[in-house]
């Protein structure tokens, strides 16, 4: 025997009832013997409750609502039953509605609605729906029979949520089905869900999940092979898809997991109502009436081997936490008995409990709507203890949520809690309380409500690993480097997704004119167009505020400008657990205290502040210095060529050519700063040697760097970039003289930065063929580190140190390393 149960949405309309009939026919063709349980048409139960309420207050409009219910049912008859049979069925329905109307007249006369009558009124929903569907099924030539569950399910008289008398019920169910099996054609039993009756034949209802309960009771009594719960979603999902867009179907789940998940708000099934079936080890499938070929979710005692260590993540979005603490609780037996005794006596349901072994405090989560009441109750109950100072005031904390991570795979497997806390920590989600039962299949954490969506998505992303981890990027600056970076991300996305399980998603971008924020991602093959058409006027403060508002997990802010004002936002971004990656040197080359503060903030927040491209573009210079420092080496001396622009210029400039033209070429090749005066003045190199010295452990200030000027004063003071180029033209002889003097000695011009004995000096030198800096070409940078461990021969890094591709690539590598760190 196979039991099918169809919920309210499955029997809510003509179309869905057609689906239901098709599913029943399918089973008949497969020759399975079935019994089918139905809920009321979607919305009807609530309408009946409303009608009852109106009837007691004497409002007569309730008849209007009754008419609407009647029309909805008649409409099914008219569309799904052949005309010649309609009269009989309409009369039948009319008869049932008349009974309801008589009952309501009684209620409105005596102005009283007992729970008993309330149950009777709501029973009409299932009775009407099942009657009609039975007629529809029969009219299709399928042998079928309407079965009023009140004749087989016997309960006590606790109206509203009646307790089932299993002994009697099981006997009646078996007897009925035995009799049916002996009847010619063995008609399919179409059964009203939700209702039963007392021994005195008074109508009762079975409470929440009532029709599932009916299916479960009958299935258990008949020892069914399977129970199918047909609903309007493809089974249970790994998380609520409204909160976690990447949630997906769970193919198999255990009873225990289903129970844990549903307690935390996964509403597809209500497992307590399936208890009779669980007890008999009857598998249950959750299926979609509107997508009947989908495999849905199989709920059974053991789940098959899983791909993931956890099964699902669920949440209760709004809870309050009550904290009872005080020195008088330590080592005193009976405090918790008293506490929870009082809560039970006041019918206060506790969602989660946590007590640390110090016994100094107990906290528990409750529905926030009851918080005031709980406080009053506990204040009264513990008045003496509070007065004597044994217990502090009862404290209530609100605006919290609880997230449950559930799965049999967590049992006896280490590292899961570690992963969970680490992900939340790296995303700046503070954990207010924690609970894990010894069953180990549920770890629950209480967090601030405003972090709920971020936490759910971050956890889902990390635990369901076959899905790539998402990095959310915000890019400021879509100039040379920014644009190249976007192109590189676009080209590399597929590789990152498949090989590194990393999904890099650009969710915001801005330049000086427009900004665009799209939490669902911006397509990188058309970002220019989108920024132009959908972007709004740039406001950096607004951009940063939005980033914080979105509160997306694994967020990275990328500053691809040379702007001085953006830097002020870094700290607050890091503070909000957003990593920062930048080729912009401004932040790291201001006062030492600011440099230090950013480092500290990132460290304290567990996020990253990365700037490899501050020195030597994509060359691994910063990482190398940091590596040596971490391993305890000590820096003695740094000597370097750190300007790609100046390297290119002195490798290209010849007597008889224009120095200004060579500078223009460097700019066109993408080597110069947005303002090339920064390169030629030595400012850019000064910043770099300052940053290197700081990374090497020396707290240098900008004024500790001496720049021996390369340029004549008139060039240095040029007010605009065009004026600067004019001055370069005018001073061509000066640059030729420099070059000639070097060449006559057989040497080359090199703009060298040196750091030794706490002093940094930058100057133009001419070096001979024996010098390691002689053999450089193009935009090459070179840096030579003399350290305690690299003393005899220095550690040298050399290669192109400027240009769009190599710089963007260095920024990209920083971004990807954050992806690995967060994983």
Ligand X SMILES: N[C@@H](CCO)C(=O)O
582 DSSP 8-state letter: -
Give the footprint of Na ion on residues 664-683 (CB under 5 A).
none
The pattern of x and - marking residues 502 through 521 that bind ligand NAD according to CB under 6 A reads --------xxx---------
Q: Least separation, in Å, of the C-beta of 695 and Na ion? A: 11
Q: Least separation, in Å, of the C-beta of 654 and ligand X? A: 20
Measuring CA to CA, how many Å separate 250 from each of 231, 254, 258, 293, 312? 15, 11, 11, 15, 8
The residue among 773, 720, 765 whose CA lies nearest residue 745 is 765
Please name every residue paired with 475 in a beta bridge, in sequence order, or none if there are none.
Answer: 509, 558
Instruction: Report the partner that residue 621 touches, choosing among Na ion, ligand X, ligand NAD, none (CB closer than 5 to 8 A by kind).
Output: Na ion
Cα separation of 682 and 374, whole Å?
A: 69
On the CB side of 12, how many CA atoms lie within 13 Å of its CA? 13
Residue 588, Cβ density class (10 Å: 0-12 exposed, 13-18 middle, ≥19 buried) = buried
Q: Least separation, in Å, of the C-beta of 666 and ligand X? A: 7
- Cα torsion 407, 409, 411, 412 to 10°: value is -160
Nearer to ligand NAD by Cβ, of 129 and 806: the residue is 806
Positions that interact with ligand X (CB under 6 A): 617, 643-645, 671-673, 679, 684, 801-802
Nearer to ligand X by Cβ, of 125 and 801: the residue is 801
Nearer to ligand NAD by Cβ, of 444 and 613: the residue is 613
From its phi and psi, is residue 321 left (phi > 0), alpha (psi between -120 and 50) or beta? beta
Interacting stretch for ligand NAD, rule CB under 6 A, among 112-120, 230-238, 421-429, 582-590?
Answer: 582-590
Nearer to ligand X by Cβ, of 325 and 645: the residue is 645
Nearer to Na ion by Cβ, of 544 and 640: the residue is 640
Residue 92, Cβ density class (10 Å: 0-12 exposed, 13-18 middle, ≥19 buried) = middle
Q: Per rule CB under 6 A, is residue 665 in the interface with ligand NAD?
A: no
Nearer to ligand X by Cβ, of 801 and 819: the residue is 801
Tokens of residue 580, six digits: 């920062």
C-beta nearest to ligand NAD: residue: 479
Tokens of residue 83, six digits: 């005309």
Q: Least separation, in Å, of the C-beta of 643 and ligand X? A: 4
The residue among 283, 313, 309, 310 whose CA lies nearest residue 298 is 283
Cα separation of 246 and 226, whole Å?
A: 30
Interacting stretch for ligand NAD, rule CB under 6 A, among 164-172, 522-530, 669-677, 758-766?
Answer: 669-677
Tokens of residue 78, six digits: 């008219």
Q: Least separation, in Å, of the C-beta of 647 and ligand X? A: 8
C-beta nearest to Na ion: residue: 616
Can 688 be counted among the known catalytic residues?
Answer: yes
* Given 145, 355, 538, 568, the residue binding ligand NAD (CB under 6 A): 538
Cα separation of 627 and 473, whole Å?
A: 26
Tokens of residue 305, six digits: 């081997």
Q: Least separation, in Å, of the C-beta of 362 and ligand X? A: 58
Q: Per rule CB under 6 A, is residue 381 in the interface with ligand NAD?
A: no
On the CB side of 293, how many CA atoms lie within 13 Å of its CA? 0
Give the footprint of ligand NAD on residues 584-623 (CB under 6 A).
584-585, 613, 617
Angle at 219 (CA atoms; ends 173, 271), nearest 5 degrees: 130
350 DSSP 8-state letter: P
Q: Per rule CB under 6 A, is residue 647 in the interface with ligand NAD?
A: no
Instruction: Report the partner that residue 584 touches, choosing among ligand X, Na ion, ligand NAD, none (CB closer than 5 to 8 A by kind).
Output: ligand NAD
Residue identified by tokens 């509070």 is 386
Quick one: angle between helices 452-463 and 416-426, nearest 10?
Answer: 130
Instruction: Report the partner that residue 645 touches, choosing among ligand NAD, Na ion, ligand X, none (CB closer than 5 to 8 A by kind).
Output: ligand X
Residue identified by tokens 């009409």 is 124
Instruction: Report the partner that residue 10 touches, choosing among ligand X, ligand NAD, Na ion, none (CB closer than 5 to 8 A by kind).
Output: none
Q: Least separation, in Å, of the C-beta of 803 and ligand X? A: 8
Nearer to ligand X by Cβ, of 363 and 760: the residue is 760
The pattern of x and - marking residues 542 through 571 that bind ligand NAD according to CB under 6 A reads ------------------xxxx-xx-----
Cα separation of 560 and 745, whole Å?
A: 42
Instruction: Report the partner that residue 619 touches, choosing among ligand X, ligand NAD, Na ion, none (CB closer than 5 to 8 A by kind).
Output: Na ion
Q: Least separation, in Å, of the C-beta of 603 and Na ion? A: 21
Nearer to ligand X by Cβ, of 300 and 672: the residue is 672
Q: Least separation, in Å, of the C-beta of 786 and ligand NAD? A: 25
Question: How many C-beta atoms surround the C-beta of residue 265 within 10 A?
Answer: 13
Nearer to Na ion by Cβ, of 355 and 623: the residue is 623
Catalytic residue, candidates 5, 426, 688, 798:
688
Please compute Rg for the chain using Cα positions: 37
Instruction: Report the partner that residue 476 touches, choosing among Na ion, ligand X, ligand NAD, none (CB closer than 5 to 8 A by kind).
Output: ligand NAD
Cα separation of 310 and 254, whole Å?
A: 12
Question: How many C-beta atoms surround the C-beta of residue 707 within 10 A?
Answer: 16
* Given 187, 272, 479, 590, the residue binding ligand NAD (CB under 6 A): 479
Q: Per rule CB under 5 A, is residue 35 in the interface with Na ion?
A: no
Beta strand 226-231 pairing with 2-6: parallel
* Given 477, 508, 553, 800, the residue binding ligand NAD (CB under 6 A): 477
Q: Least separation, in Å, of the C-beta of 814 and ligand X? A: 14
Q: Least separation, in Å, of the C-beta of 801 and ligand X? A: 5
Instruction: Report the partner that residue 679 touches, choosing among ligand X, Na ion, ligand NAD, none (CB closer than 5 to 8 A by kind).
Output: ligand X
Tokens of residue 379, six digits: 């204040």
Number of residues that bind ligand NAD (CB under 6 A): 31
The residue among 567, 576, 526 whose CA lies nearest residue 546 is 576
Q: Least separation, in Å, of the C-beta of 543 and ligand X? A: 25
The pattern of x and - marking residues 430 through 469 that bind ligand NAD according to CB under 6 A reads ----------------------------------------
**Chain-centre distance for alpha carbon 423:** 11
Cα separation of 569 and 558, whole Å?
A: 12
Nearer to Na ion by Cβ, of 297 and 584: the residue is 584
Nearer to ligand NAD by Cβ, of 611 and 635: the residue is 611
Q: Are 822 and 578 in contact (CB under 8 A)?
A: no
**Chain-centre distance for alpha carbon 83:** 53
Nearer to ligand X by Cβ, of 257 and 780: the residue is 780
Instruction: Report the partner that residue 670 touches, choosing among Na ion, ligand NAD, ligand X, none (CB closer than 5 to 8 A by kind).
Output: ligand NAD
Q: Per rule CB under 6 A, is residue 707 in the interface with ligand NAD?
A: no
Nearer to ligand X by Cβ, of 62 and 671: the residue is 671
Instruction: Report the partner that residue 588 touches, choosing among ligand X, Na ion, ligand NAD, none (CB closer than 5 to 8 A by kind).
Output: none
Question: How many C-beta atoms surround the C-beta of residue 324 within 10 A?
Answer: 22
Residue 681: CB partners within 8 Å, gap ≥ 6? 707, 709, 710, 711, 716
Cα separation of 260 and 296, whole Å?
A: 19
The residue among 225, 234, 312 whose CA lies nearest residue 268 is 234
- Cα torsion 130, 133, 134, 140 to 10°: value is -170
Tokens of residue 485, six digits: 């970076």
Question: How many C-beta atoms surround the C-beta of residue 67 within 10 A?
Answer: 11
Q: Least separation, in Å, of the C-beta of 616 and ligand X? A: 7
Q: Tell me the backbone φ, ψ of residue 538, rounded to 5 degrees.
A: -65, 135
Give the footprint of Na ion on residues 562-621 (CB under 5 A).
612, 616, 619, 621
Task: List the catalytic residues.
Answer: 688
* Binding footprint of ligand NAD on the chain (CB under 6 A): 476-482, 510-512, 538, 540, 560-563, 565-566, 583-585, 613, 617, 644, 670-671, 673-674, 802-803, 807
* Binding footprint of Na ion on the chain (CB under 5 A): 612, 616, 619, 621
């Amino acid at each position: 025997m196979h039991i099918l149960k169809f919920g309210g949405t499955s029997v809510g309309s003509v179309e869905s009832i057609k689906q239901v009939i098709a599913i029943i026919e399918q089973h008949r063709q497969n020759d399975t013997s079935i019994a089918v349980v139905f809920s009321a048409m979607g919305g009807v139960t609530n309408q009946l409750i409303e009608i009852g309420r109106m009837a007691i207050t004497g409002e007569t409009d309730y008849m209007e609502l009754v008419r609407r219910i009647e029309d909805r049912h008649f409409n099914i008859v008219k569309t799904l039953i052949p005309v010649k049979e309609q009269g009989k069925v309409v009369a039948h329905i009319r008869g049932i509605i008349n009974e309801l109307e008589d009952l309501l007249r009684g209620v409105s006369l005596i102005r009283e609605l007992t729970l008993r009558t309330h149950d009777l009124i709501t029973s009409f929903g299932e009775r009407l729906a099942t009657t009609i569907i039975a007629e529809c099924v029969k009219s299709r030539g399928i042998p079928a029979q309407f079965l009023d569950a009140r004749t087989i399910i016997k309960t006590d008289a606790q109206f509203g949520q009646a307790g089932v008398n299993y002994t009697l019920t099981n006997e009646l169910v078996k007897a009925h089905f035995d009799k049916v099996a002996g009847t010619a054609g063995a008609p399919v039993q179409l059964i009203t869900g939700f209702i039963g009756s007392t021994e005195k034949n008074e109508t009762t209802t079975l409470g929440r999940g009532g029709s599932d309960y009916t299916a479960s009771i009958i299935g258990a009594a008949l020892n069914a092979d399977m129970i199918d719960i047909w609903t309007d979603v493809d089974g249970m999902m790994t998380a609520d898809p409204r909160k976690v867009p990447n949630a997906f179907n769970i193919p198999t789940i255990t009873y225990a997991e289903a129970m844990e998940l549903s307690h935390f708000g996964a509403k597809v099934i209500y497992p307590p109502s399936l208890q009779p079936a669980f007890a008999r080890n009857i598998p249950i499938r959750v299926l979609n009436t509107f997508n009947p070929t989908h495999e849905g979710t199989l709920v059974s005692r053991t789940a098959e081997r899983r791909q993931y260590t956890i099964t699902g993540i669920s949440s209760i979005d709004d809870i309050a936490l009550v904290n009872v603490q005080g020195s008088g609780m330590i080592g005193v037996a009976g405090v918790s008995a008293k506490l929870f005794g009082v809560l039970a006596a006041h019918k206060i349901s506790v969602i989660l409990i946590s007590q640390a072994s110090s016994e100094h405090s107990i906290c528990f989560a409750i529905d926030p709507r009851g918080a005031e009441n709980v406080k009053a109750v506990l204040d009264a109950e513990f008045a003496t203890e509070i007065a004597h100072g044994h217990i502090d005031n009862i404290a209530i904390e609100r605006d919290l949520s609880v997230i449950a991570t559930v799965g049999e795979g967590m049992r006896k497997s280490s590292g899961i809690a570690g992963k969970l806390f680490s992900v939340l920590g790296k995303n700046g989600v503070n954990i207010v309380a924690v609970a894990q039962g010894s069953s180990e299949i549920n770890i629950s954490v209480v967090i601030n409500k405003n972090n709920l969506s971020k936490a759910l998505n971050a956890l889902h992303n990390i635990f369901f690993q076959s899905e790539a981890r998402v990095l959310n990027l915000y890019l400021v600056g879509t100039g040379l480097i920014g644009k190249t970076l976007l192109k590189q991300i676009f080209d590399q996305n597929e590789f990152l997704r498949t090989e590194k399980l990393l999904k890099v998603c650009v969710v915001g971008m801005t330049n000086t004119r427009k900004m665009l924020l799209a939490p669902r991602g911006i397509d990188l093959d058309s970002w220019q167009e989108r920024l132009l058409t959908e972007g709004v006027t740039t406001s950096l403060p607004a951009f940063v505020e939005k980033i914080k508002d979105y509160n997306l997990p694994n967020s990275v802010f990328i500053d691809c400008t040379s702007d001085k004002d953006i830097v002020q936002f870094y700290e607050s971004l890091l503070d909000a657990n957003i990593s920062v990656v930048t080729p912009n040197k401004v932040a790291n080359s201001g006062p030492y205290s600011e440099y230090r503060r950013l480092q500290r903030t990132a460290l304290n927040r567990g996020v990253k502040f990365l700037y490899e491209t501050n020195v030597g573009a994509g060359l691994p210079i910063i990482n190398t210095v940091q590596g040596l420092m971490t391993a305890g080496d000590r820096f003695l001396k740094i000597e370097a060529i750190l300007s790609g622009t100046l390297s290119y210029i002195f490798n290209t400039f010849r007597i008889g050519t224009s120095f200004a033209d060579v500078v223009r070429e460097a700019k066109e090749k993408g080597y110069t700063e947005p303002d090339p005066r920064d390169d030629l003045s030595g400012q850019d190199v000064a910043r770099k040697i300052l940053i290197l010295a700081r990374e090497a452990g020396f707290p240098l200030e900008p004024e500790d760097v001496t720049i021996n000027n390369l340029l004549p004063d008139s060039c240095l003071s040029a007010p605009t970039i065009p004026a600067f180029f004019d001055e370069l033209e005018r001073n061509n002889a000066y640059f030729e003289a420099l070059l000639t003097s070097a060449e006559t000695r057989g040497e080359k011009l090199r703009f060298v930065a040196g750091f030794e004995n706490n002093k940094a000096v930058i100057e133009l030198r001419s070096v001979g063929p024996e010098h390691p800096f002689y053999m450089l070409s193009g935009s090459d940078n070179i840096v030579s580190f003399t350290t305690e461990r690299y003393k005899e021969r220095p550690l040298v890094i050399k290669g192109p140190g400027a240009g769009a591709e190599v710089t963007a690539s260095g920024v990209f590598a920083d971004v990807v390393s954050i992806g690995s760190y967060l994983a």
